[in-house]
Structure 1
Amino acid sequence: MQALKHFRIDFLITVIVLAIAFVYDSWTGIWLCAILIVVEIVFSFDNAAVNAKYLVRLNDFWQKMFLTVGVLVAVFGMRLIFPFVIVCVSGSISPIRALHLALEKGDPHVPGTYGYILNEAHPSIAAFGGMFLLLLFLDFMFDPDRETTWLSWIEKPLQRLGKLDVLSVVIAGVFLLVASETLVHKTAVHTDVQMRSIVLFSGLLGIVLYLAVSGLSQLMESREAAKDEEFEKADARSTGQTVLLAGKAALSMFFFLEVLDATFSFDGVIGAFAITPDPIIIMMGLGVGAMYVRSMTIFLVRNGTLAEYRFLEHGAHWAIGALAVMLVLSIKVHLGEFVIGGVGIALIVAAWISSILANKREAAAEGPAAYENTTDEGAHV
């Protein structure tokens, strides 16, 4: 019941948006909007789990910023303005023409429509998002300081490999080169050579952006830690907790979270046009779904879910790695949103079940030990 109260604002906004959808397109608008909300929530759980890992390090003010300003960026920026900009750039058309195409609700399979132009830009979007997410996955797996492992038979060797600097960048670069040579094909607008150049440039841009944003975040965080070192030590002695990020360090982490959320949105925005070509319905449905994902992230942070279920973070990162690979593969092969989302959900559920079993084994092992300690103390007295 407490969990439902956490999402009460989302429920209220859902009712309002569905009412608007009814006025806009009758019961069809409600039905399509509801489908998109569910799709966004189900397929973005890995996003919430990973976001929670970073959001837990921010103070209460920046967590609220993530829920307010961040939601506006997610709803209007990624679900409305981003596709609009892509259509303008990819189709080499004016914003006015792109707006007319959007309002026409043309069939995305028909050349010249809004959805068709956006779908033609999929290879560049997939390369950009795939490289960004792949680096996030590799950096997590190669982290030599990570104490807990889930799939230890593969994660521990990867941690040892992580002692080699910039290995994740090398692997991502090689993967991008191979993908550009094997997965790219000509389109109605571009030749093979042009598409290879587009995919290479987009993937390289994703790598550069990840390095820039994550590097800036780490730099600001280290400066904040150095500046407040004495305070942090005192706080650690008194409470045993880590000081939450604020100021420039929190701002850079907030930017990192926004870019991360954007990369998760790429495939969902493109895939939504397979459900409906109406960008207004897409913005409303995916936007409300994005709000639930944000609230879910806050819920995971406030309830310490990542700490309670120790492998959940690992499952989310494995889901990210799978999503990154599938995004790049989707340049040539249509995998479908249900395949992409299903793999991610399966990995997270497996990690969640593994966490429950590990907690039960740990509790069973501590039970007899606790009993023996109590008996020994009684005998000693």
Structure 2
Amino acid sequence: MKYFTTSFIFTILGLIASFFVGQYYGGTVGAGLQALFIATVLAVLEVSLSFDNAIVNAVVLKQMTPVWRKRFLTWGMLIAVFGMRLVFPLAIVTFIAHVNPWEALVMAATRPDEYANLMLSAHLEVSAFGGAFLLMVALKYFYDESKELHWIPFLEKPTAYLGSKVEAIEVALCLVIFAIITQFMPSESALPFLKAGMAGLITYVIVDGIGSWLEASDETMKDVHRASAGMFLYLEVLDASFSFDGVVGAFAITHNLFIIMIGLSIGAFFVRSLTIMFVEKETLTKFAFLEHGAFYAIGLLAMIMLSSPFVHIPEWFTGLSGAVLIAASFVWSLKKAPKESAE
């Protein structure tokens, strides 16, 4: 429970705040209770969509210095809560409607339906950017030539082998996927989708390149801190990519930006708590295939985001499918442990 104390405190405060927000806009106690229920649903949805994010965060976080680890769990939390859940939606509407951020905030507070319509109009580009970044994260993991442990060998061994023989194969595959998708899209949608996808791909290449450059230094304490700074940047962009689909999808449940921010922020706190628990209890060491399940879930989430021009897949299915993959990897990890003990 010590890992989740802060999350439960924030949950209680957040749900109380959501009740008063709902009562303010609806004018009745019933409206307040409805807002409280919606915030709870959004929190559960965020945790289900981001459980794999917590695992990947733990993978990277355990390599960081204690100083940068603490910064990720404090500064990164502020960025996740206020940056992605408040500033990001406002930035989208600011760009689309050609208004300043204050006007966008006033629109969200006074004309939530108009604000939500503008926000949802950017779903195509947001999905392309986030989908491209997450797809690169998954492909980079499975095409890693140094990867020796395989959960599904007949899939993972060939990809690891190709990764050792073909330079930047994950970039080429990502470009091929986008080329195929845009062939079946209307011309007026294909170009914005492709531009946003290329921006996501370029962002990944830049962030990954910065991280690799920082890690290539000598193992002095100064250089270790620099490498940790690169990992911090990588995790922040990764968190943002995970948040894209959740933030936009939340507008299908409610148009109130403040209830969305509260609900998703509660989920973000629990994801951080899970990350800390995974690192300190060395969960990924004890359950060998849990990391594999998380990256499979990331790849599936990326493909779901990239399929948004053709079909809307409910958020509950996205969260459930990721949970099933992670649960399966957990069960296989339990099966592997007795074999290692016997050996």
**Cross-structure match for 2:29:** none
Counterpart in 2 of 1:41? 47
1:253-292 map, 5 Å: 253-292=231-270
| CA 1:249–1:276: 2 relative to 1, 3 Å | same
Question: What is the aligned partner in structure 2 of residue 152 from structure 1?
Answer: 153
- What do residues 121-150 of structure 1 show as CA deviations (whole Å, max 9, x unaligned)? 111111111111111111111111111000
Contact 2:76 2:236 in 1 (8 A): yes
Change in Cα spacing, 1:174 to 1:96, as seen in structure 2 (3 Å) is: same
Residues 124-163 of structure 1 mapped to structure 2, 5 A cutoff: 124-163=125-164
Whether the aligned pair in 2 keeps the contact of 1:105 and 1:277 (CA below 8 Å) is no
State the 1:152 CA deviation. 0.4
Shift of 1:343: 1.3
Query: Is 2:215 the counterpart of 1:221?
Result: yes
Q: How far has the Cα of 1:179 moved from its partner?
A: 1.4
Does the alignment pair 1:7 with 2:26? no
1:212 aligns with 2:218: no
Q: Which residue among 310, 321, 329 is the counterpart of 2:307?
A: 329
* 2:56 corresponding residue in structure 1: 50
> Which structure is larger by alpha-carbon Rg, 1 or 2?
1
> Residue 105 of structure 1: CA displacement?
5.1
Confirm or deny: 8 A CA contact 1:14 1:288 kept in the other structure: yes
Secondary structure of 2:150's counterpart equals coil
Aligned pairs for 1:170-181 (under 5 A) are 170-181=172-183
Gaps of 5+ in 2: 23-31
Q: What is the match of residue 299 of structure 1? A: 277
Q: 2:37 matched to 1:31?
A: yes
Distance 1:76 1:151, change over 3 A: same
Q: Give yes or no for the alignment of 1:317 onto 2:300.
A: no
Amino acid of the structure 2 residue aligned with 1:9: T
What's the CA shift string for 1:306-356, capped at 9, x where partnerless? 110000000000111111111000122101101211111111111000000
Alpha-carbon distance in structure 1 between the residues aligned to 2:318 and 2:132: 16
Task: Identify the residue that residue 26 of structure 2 maps to in structure 1.
Answer: none
1:76 to 78, 82, 88: 82
Look up the match of 1:116.
117
Q: Which amino acid aligns with 1:168?
A: E
State the match for 1:235 in structure 2: none
Pairwise CA distance, 1:67: 1.4
CA shift at 1:271, angstroms? Answer: 0.7
Give % identity: 39
Distance 1:295 1:114, change over 3 A: same
Contact 2:21 2:258 in 1 (8 A): no
Q: Give the conservation status (yes or no) of the 8 Å contact 1:63–1:298.
A: no
Measure, in 2, the Cα distance between the counterparts of 1:47 and 1:144: 23
CA distance in 1, matches of 2:95, 2:178: 23
1:101 deviates by 2.3
Counterparts of 1:7 and 1:119 in 2: how far apart (Å)? 33
The amino acid that maps onto 1:253 is M
What letter corresponds to residue 6 of structure 2 in structure 1? I
Tell me the distance in 1 between the aligned counterparts of 2:228 and 2:155: 33
- Asked whether the equivalents of residues 65 and 225 of structure 2 are also in contact (C-alpha less than 8 Å), the reply is no
Q: Any idea what the Cα deviations from partners look like across 1:262-294, whole Å, max 9, x if unmatched?
A: 000000001111111100011111012101101
Which of 329, 334, 339 is matched with 1:351 structurally? 329
Q: Give the TM-score normalised by the residue count of structure 2.
A: 0.93
* Aligned 8 A contact 1:67 1:295 in 2: no
RMSD: 1.6
Pairwise CA distance, 1:104: 2.9
Deviation (angstroms), 1:106: 3.5
Deviations 1:157-215 (Å, cap 9, x if unpaired)?
Answer: 11111121011100101111211221x34xxxxxx33x222111111111110000011
Per the alignment, residue 72 of structure 2 pairs with: 66
CA contact (8 A) 2:68 2:225 kept: no
Q: Quick one: distance in 2 between partners of 1:92 and 1:180?
A: 27
Q: Which moved more, 1:16-25 or 1:333-342?
A: 16-25
Distance (Å, rounded) in 2 between the aligned partners of 1:205 and 1:295: 31
Unaligned ranges ≥5, structure 1 = 108-112, 186-191, 232-243, 367-381
Instruction: Name the CA shift for 1:245/1:317 in 2 (closer, same or farther; >3 Å).
Output: farther
Residues 126 and 267 of structure 1 are in contact (CA less than 8 Å); yes or no, is this contact kept in structure 2? yes
Question: Is the 8 Å Cα contact of residues 129 and 327 (structure 1) preserved in structure 2?
Answer: yes
Correspondent of 2:192 among 172, 187, 198: 198
Letter in 2 for 1:301: V
Distance in 2 (alpha carbons) for counterparts of 1:260 and 1:35: 23
For 2:235 and 2:228, locate their aligned partners in 1 and report how far apart those are by CA, in whole Å. Answer: 10
